[in-house]
Amino acid sequence: MVKVGILGVGTVGESVAKILIENSDIIEARAGRKIVPMLGAVRDLSKKRAVDIALTDNPEDIINNPDIDIVVELMGGVEEPYRLVKKALSNGKAVVTANKALLAYHRYELQEIAGDTPLFYEASVAGGIPIIGALRNGLSANHIESIKGIMNGTCNYMLTKMIKEGVAYDDVLKEAQELGYAEADPTFDVGGFDAAHKLLILGSLAYGIDAKPEDIIIEGIDNITQTDVEFASEFGYEIKLLGIAKKMGDGVEMRVHATLIPQDSMIAKVDGVMNAVSVYGDRVGETLFYGAGAGGDATASAVIADIIEIVRGNSSPMLGYKKSLESGLKLLNKDEIVTQYYIKLKVQDKSGVLASVASTLGEYGISIESMLQKPSKKEGKVRLLFTTHKCEEKRMKEAIKALENLDTVESDITMIRIEK
């Protein structure tokens, strides 16, 4: 019998204990041994739990317990779980965590400390979708050319509502908050930080890149308006919040931002709270993995899959590569990324304005792919919408600054990156 201790018995922790009990038949058949939830650590012992598991308010009771084989960390936060996971590992206990923030900051130290002790984290990215397993095992013969993921269900729910039902950003945010999809302070989701933590984990598996959140472009969906949604559609695009990791020679781009993607791509068809990760391998071509990215049971499904792998005695290199064999790729600076752009700007409705905008872009070596001019609601103004050919982010930023300095251009220029 394998005994599991759970640090943090909230929604996911309850599901882990419940599924270990309710699906014990299939879990034992697949793992070859019985697996039982033995003890959970919680902050408030008096709170009623939806599952029958012994509780303690001292996490040390779990990580120092000689009877416990596997520690599941579902606490949230970074430093306290980091301390406890390190201690559990040094006590020789296998660890399963769903904590993406912990891994976004400390995955390389944890890999070092874990050594040959399993430290698994399938649930940390895209909930129930076995994307870590796919990158670590299923696609391991490939150089990964790119990863593009819808990894935040809150943002995808909001964008879907904006696109399909024409709801305004503020209204859909309020609705998402009422449904419990978004927090009272939604910044972590709508600002792209949650997706960024997940992307950093995938970037390690695919490229061996040791980056922190502050090293990569992180933007959210909070500047997307109905106008952008409508014009995107006229250009044949959907808007999604994507986490993108992509190889460019010896460099790797990593970035999270609202992105225009062709309407007919598979990932554009992923609606509502669902997640999906598209992975291009140099040999396999495009693969896509779709499913529930959050929720207690879906996340617990991934946690327990890891537990079963540990019980089977399986282990793969925690971050995809054997420790001594890093990939040698390096993270590109935020300004070095190269992509196509959508630009929206409001200009005065007089002759020569379009020419001056186009020539400004030209000065920075940016060539226009398509253009649309629409009357603005305000009299005497028009909206110009461009999509550009590929150019370096640095040039695009300089060009936008230059455009904003033109007398005829209003100051609010929207830029959304395009991914084909």
Half-sphere exposure of 27 (CA within 13 A, CB side): 27
Q: Is 270 in the site for its own copies (CB under 8 A)?
A: yes
Within 10 Å of residue 390's Cβ, how many Cβ atoms? 13
| Given 217, 308, 347, 415, the residue binding its own copies (CB under 8 A) | 308
Q: Is 272 in the site for its own copies (CB under 8 A)?
A: no
| Given 3, 10, 11, 31, the residue binding its own copies (CB under 8 A) | 31
Residue pair 408/380 in contact (Cβ under 8 Å)? The answer is no
| Rounded Cα distance, 35 and 18, in Å | 12
Active-site positions read 198
Residues 248-267 that bind its own copies (CB under 8 A): 266
| Given 40, 118, 130, 153, the residue binding its own copies (CB under 8 A) | 130
Among the listed residues 233, 237, 255, 258, the one whose alpha carbon sits nearest the alpha carbon of residue 246: 255
Q: For its own copies, how many residues bind (rule: CB under 8 A)? A: 61
Within 10 Å of residue 186's Cβ, how many Cβ atoms? 18
Angle between helix 226-234 and helix 153-165 axes, rounded to 10 deg: 70
Smallest gap from Cβ 136 to its own copies, in A, equals 8
Q: Is 291 in the site for its own copies (CB under 8 A)?
A: yes
The pair phi, psi for residue 101, each rounded to 5°, is -65, -45
Q: Is 284 in the site for its own copies (CB under 8 A)?
A: yes
Quickly tell me which residue has 């140099």 as its tokens: 282
DSSP 53-89: --EES-THHHHT-TT--EEEE---SSHHHHHHHHHHH
Q: Is 111 in the site for its own copies (CB under 8 A)?
A: no
Nearer to its own copies among residue 73 and residue 122 (C-beta): 122
* Cβ-Cβ contacts under 8 Å for 169 (sequence gap 6 or more): 158, 162, 221, 222, 224, 225, 226
| Given 115, 166, 285, 365, the residue binding its own copies (CB under 8 A) | 285
Nearer to its own copies among residue 260 and residue 304 (C-beta): 304
* Cβ-Cβ contacts under 8 Å for 46 (sequence gap 6 or more): none
Report the run of H or E that residue 299 belongs to, with start and end.
helix 296-312
- Candidates 73-81, 173-181, 282-290, 402-410 — which segment interacts with its own copies by CB under 8 A? 282-290
Q: Is 340 in the site for its own copies (CB under 8 A)?
A: no
| Given 76, 138, 236, 262, the residue binding its own copies (CB under 8 A) | 138
DSSP 83-128: HHHHHHHHTT-EEEE--HHHHHHHHHHHHHHHTTS-EE-GGGTTTT
Q: Is 142 in the site for its own copies (CB under 8 A)?
A: yes
Smallest gap from Cβ 22 to its own copies, in A, equals 9
- Candidates 25-33, 72-80, 106-114, 215-223 — which segment interacts with its own copies by CB under 8 A? 25-33
* Contact characters 177-216, its own copies, x per CB under 8 A: -------------------------------x--------
Report the run of H or E that residue 312 belongs to, with start and end.
helix 296-312
Q: Is 314 in the site for its own copies (CB under 8 A)?
A: yes
| Given 1, 32, 58, 367, the residue binding its own copies (CB under 8 A) | 32
| Given 289, 341, 364, 386, the residue binding its own copies (CB under 8 A) | 289
Nearer to its own copies among residue 140 and residue 376 (C-beta): 140
Token digits of residue 148: 């593009």
Among the listed residues 242, 245, 236, the one whose alpha carbon sits nearest the alpha carbon of residue 387: 236
Among the listed residues 71, 233, 47, 261, the one whose alpha carbon sits nearest the alpha carbon of residue 150: 261
| Given 175, 297, 369, 392, the residue binding its own copies (CB under 8 A) | 297
Smallest gap from Cβ 213 to its own copies, in A, equals 25
Q: Is 349 in the site for its own copies (CB under 8 A)?
A: no
| Given 56, 315, 360, 408, the residue binding its own copies (CB under 8 A) | 315
Residue pair 61/39 in contact (Cβ under 8 Å)? The answer is yes
Smallest gap from Cβ 325 to its own copies, in A, equals 4
The pair phi, psi for residue 156, each rounded to 5°, is -70, -35
| Given 3, 86, 143, 330, the residue binding its own copies (CB under 8 A) | 143
Q: Using CB under 8 A, list all residues that contact its own copies.
A: 15, 19, 23, 26-32, 122, 128-130, 133-134, 137-143, 208, 266, 269-270, 281-292, 295, 297-298, 300-305, 308-309, 312, 314-317, 320-322, 325-327
